Chains A and B, each alone.
Chain A
């Protein structure tokens, strides 16, 4: 292969400079601030600051509420990722078999993605509101007393549905594109060999979809860890009794409402570490099993 070699060492840096500047200002600098703040104890007004080392971190891991928040986040992330990926794949498969009306369905299914998370949250809050919502009304008719204001599992179901609903559109779009990239001849050949639809799906479609699935898994986990903040804020505000208080919401709650900046900074550093670790794991271990 012929390699192009640039004589000027400055040019690549110059071309990279805008991107590097953006990363520096909007990512590295704030992240550095968070790390610094996480070693400090400070009153709300910033009048008295003292260095306390790792005390903020130690306090977090002694705090049962924080450990609970970790657990809640794990349940929430897995449930949202599983539900939105699973449903999106089902819808995409159904659409793949359609001929005439596929375009209309695609358009309709993509719409929810255009809805802002906070609007989606408020909408689901209305639908499931125990006093005025339609769902609790219907569930009551079926003999189930829905009350996400008091029942932690109800609240978790609500935020999982609200957070997944939006993400399904996004996942769906990628699955449709992924499915279209699979040559029809492969599936036809398998069909001629006598493989049923389930077998064709498991041995041909799924492996060939794995790059898409892998990509979506990474995106979805990041989405559930960070972007679901507005959904929680608009529906349960982390309640009842912290049953839906995911890590990113707790960062906001303790930092912006509780004004405990040291602890909040320590939490965001931990959250950052979790996301970095998850991404590394996904790329090192799962990507190996992906067939491009």
Chain B
């Protein structure tokens, strides 16, 4: 009796000390639903793969909620080691020099082998400072692509295997679809700001802001009121009036996906990470994939599209032991197997060349035609200073301004030039404020 007790208490003690030896580190993220389950699976895989660290993921709501929760926690000295921040918050995070632990520096300090050139330039460019240092760890990056309803295309007398390539195609196809009665609407889109303004600009090699879209410094100013953008917004207004285009709402455009799923709109532009949702909901029709349309008379188009999604930022003020764990965990996360698995499951881009190659090797793109449209579009041309991304402070609010001005355009309150001029002037006021607060 006595012996068994001693043995069991000994066993308990060793197991306790083993548990104590594991350093815990917290990761706040914004991945709900199936993506969240997958994320937890990845973390569980990491925790089981080694003895030293335990990563504890916590779901904190939407992207803005997660970001503001982390910032509030930082102010109260309760911050997690890792926080997932969407691309729009990049400018804010980068400017917070004392709050973030840049990834390149973390990896060097912790002696973790780290090769920035293994990552796809189009992805990491967004999160790299002007000296070429990677500041955050890419995790879920996506880019907008075009989805279309093959069955409706055929019903309208179009070729079911040819997606529209230019905006002239979109208009012509849409008219044919509506006239033939195959569907009541030509196209809809998620993310007006991200898809129909930022990516439109990059795709046509037009600047979004001065100083390399804000990469060059806080003194940047918006320039989205150029002729290409104005022409496009004018067209969107015209097409909305004729019914060719249906507006899906502000922000991510929640009303857009149902329009595509219900076969109301034959063409749909949204994140490549919407692919899982599209495949799951397109029960009664076959989906085709294409790159974003462009205006073929604009010189330099198509250039390459830019990314959205989120990266992982490391916050200052935790113990050294935790940062060792973070470095180790990041190496695991960016390993080809983990990345390829995440990419194939979610539709997010593979962030390393190795993960892309692995997916090719595994025959993923042959089995899932269209799944590589995003990555091909991202890497279509080497990024220019107009198409490597954007970096503006207060950009969460500027996104809202873009939505508001677009609504003012659609409701007839403003013409395209005025709406975009107002985006620029209101946005610049916020940029100046950000500059003042971070000087």
Show the binding face of A for B, using Cβ within 8 Å: 41-48, 65, 130-132, 149-152, 237, 239-242, 253-254, 256-260
Cβ of A216 to closest chain B Cβ, rounded Å: 35
User: What are the residues of chain B within 8 A of A131 when measuring CB–CB?
Assistant: 255, 258-259
User: B436 touching A41 by the CB < 8 A rule?
Assistant: yes
User: A259 touching B71 by the CB < 8 A rule?
Assistant: yes
A100 to B407 alpha-carbon distance, docked (Å): 52
Contacts A45-B75, A242-B404, A258-B397 given; indicate if A151 touches B411 (C-beta within 8 A): yes
User: What are the residues of chain A within 8 A of B408 when measuring CB–CB?
Assistant: 240-241
Cβ of A185 to closest chain B Cβ, rounded Å: 57
User: What are the residues of chain A within 8 A of B437 when measuring CB–CB?
Assistant: 41-43, 48
Cβ of B208 to closest chain A Cβ, rounded Å: 20
Q: Secondary structure of the A side of the interface?
A: loop
23 chain-A/chain-B pairs, Cβ below 8 angstroms: A45-B71, A45-B74, A45-B75, A46-B75, A47-B96, A47-B98, A47-B99, A48-B437, A48-B438, A65-B426, A149-B250, A149-B255, A149-B407, A239-B403, A239-B407, A240-B250, A241-B405, A241-B407, A241-B408, A253-B400, A259-B71, A259-B394, A260-B397
Pairs A-B, 7 closest by C-beta atoms: A240-B407, A45-B99, A241-B404, A258-B397, A45-B96, A150-B411, A241-B407
A47 to B95 alpha-carbon distance, docked (Å): 10
Chain B: which residue is nearest A242 at the CB level? B404
Cβ of A200 to closest chain B Cβ, rounded Å: 47
Cβ of B285 to closest chain A Cβ, rounded Å: 19
User: B394 touching A260 by the CB < 8 A rule?
Assistant: yes
Cβ of B116 to closest chain A Cβ, rounded Å: 26
Which chain B residues numbered 244 to 283 have a C-beta less than 8 Å away from chain A?
247, 249-250, 255, 258-259
A94 to B404 alpha-carbon distance, docked (Å): 44
Show the binding face of B for A, using Cβ within 8 Å: 64, 68, 71, 74-75, 92, 95-99, 247, 249-250, 255, 258-259, 394, 396-397, 400, 403-405, 407-408, 410-411, 413, 426, 433, 436-439
Chain A: which residue is nearest B95 at the CB level? A43
Chain B: which residue is nearest A129 at the CB level? B255
User: B250 touching A239 by the CB < 8 A rule?
Assistant: yes
Chain A: which residue is nearest B96 at the CB level? A45
A45 to B99 alpha-carbon distance, docked (Å): 7
User: B396 touching A258 by the CB < 8 A rule?
Assistant: yes
Chain B: which residue is nearest A49 at the CB level? B437
Chain B: which residue is nearest A130 at the CB level? B255
A42 to B99 alpha-carbon distance, docked (Å): 14
User: What are the residues of chain B within 8 A of A253 when measuring CB–CB?
Assistant: 400
User: What are the residues of chain A within 8 A of B410 when measuring CB–CB?
Assistant: 150
A47 to B96 alpha-carbon distance, docked (Å): 7
User: What are the residues of chain A within 8 A of B413 when measuring CB–CB?
Assistant: 241
User: What are the residues of chain A within 8 A of B258 when measuring CB–CB?
Assistant: 131-132
User: What are the residues of chain B within 8 A of A237 when measuring CB–CB?
Assistant: 250
Cβ of A26 to closest chain B Cβ, rounded Å: 18
User: What are the residues of chain A within 8 A of B96 when measuring CB–CB?
Assistant: 43-45, 47
User: What are the residues of chain B within 8 A of A242 when measuring CB–CB?
Assistant: 404
User: What are the residues of chain A within 8 A of B64 when measuring CB–CB?
Assistant: 257
A45 to B98 alpha-carbon distance, docked (Å): 9
User: What are the residues of chain A within 8 A of B400 when measuring CB–CB?
Assistant: 253, 257
Cβ of B40 to closest chain A Cβ, rounded Å: 27
User: B71 touching A239 by the CB < 8 A rule?
Assistant: no
User: A149 touching B438 by the CB < 8 A rule?
Assistant: no
List 7 additional A-B contacts (Cβ < 8 Å) besides A43-B95, A43-B96, A240-B250.
A42-B437, A45-B75, A47-B97, A47-B99, A130-B255, A259-B68, A259-B71
A130 to B259 alpha-carbon distance, docked (Å): 12
User: B407 touching A150 by the CB < 8 A rule?
Assistant: yes
User: B394 touching A240 by the CB < 8 A rule?
Assistant: no
User: A257 touching B68 by the CB < 8 A rule?
Assistant: yes
Cβ of B12 to closest chain A Cβ, rounded Å: 43
Cβ of A137 to closest chain B Cβ, rounded Å: 14
Looking at A65, A240, A241, the one whose CB has the most chain B CB atoms below 10 A away is A241
A230 to B75 alpha-carbon distance, docked (Å): 26
Chain A: which residue is nearest B79 at the CB level? A45
User: What are the residues of chain A within 8 A of B439 when measuring CB–CB?
Assistant: 48
Cβ of B318 to closest chain A Cβ, rounded Å: 15
User: What are the residues of chain A within 8 A of B405 when measuring CB–CB?
Assistant: 241
User: B396 touching A257 by the CB < 8 A rule?
Assistant: yes
User: What are the residues of chain A within 8 A of B97 when measuring CB–CB?
Assistant: 47
Cβ of A262 to closest chain B Cβ, rounded Å: 8
User: A150 touching B68 by the CB < 8 A rule?
Assistant: no
A44 to B255 alpha-carbon distance, docked (Å): 32
Contacts A48-B437, A48-B438 given; indicate if A259 touches B407 (C-beta within 8 A): no
User: A149 touching B247 by the CB < 8 A rule?
Assistant: yes
Contacts A45-B75, A260-B394 given; indicate if A241 touches B411 (C-beta within 8 A): yes
A44 to B64 alpha-carbon distance, docked (Å): 13
A45 to B96 alpha-carbon distance, docked (Å): 7
Cβ of B401 to closest chain A Cβ, rounded Å: 9
A257 to B396 alpha-carbon distance, docked (Å): 7
User: What are the residues of chain B within 8 A of A41 when measuring CB–CB?
Assistant: 436-437
User: What are the residues of chain B within 8 A of A152 when measuring CB–CB?
Assistant: 411
A259 to B260 alpha-carbon distance, docked (Å): 35
Chain A: which residue is nearest B69 at the CB level? A256
User: What are the residues of chain A within 8 A of B397 when measuring CB–CB?
Assistant: 254, 257-258, 260
Cβ of A142 to closest chain B Cβ, rounded Å: 20
User: B394 touching A258 by the CB < 8 A rule?
Assistant: yes
A226 to B135 alpha-carbon distance, docked (Å): 41
Cβ of B354 to closest chain A Cβ, rounded Å: 35
Cβ of B4 to closest chain A Cβ, rounded Å: 54
User: What are the residues of chain A within 8 A of B433 when measuring CB–CB?
Assistant: 260
Contact of B92 among A46, A240, A254, A259 (CB under 8 A): A259
A241 to B412 alpha-carbon distance, docked (Å): 12
Cβ of B210 to closest chain A Cβ, rounded Å: 22
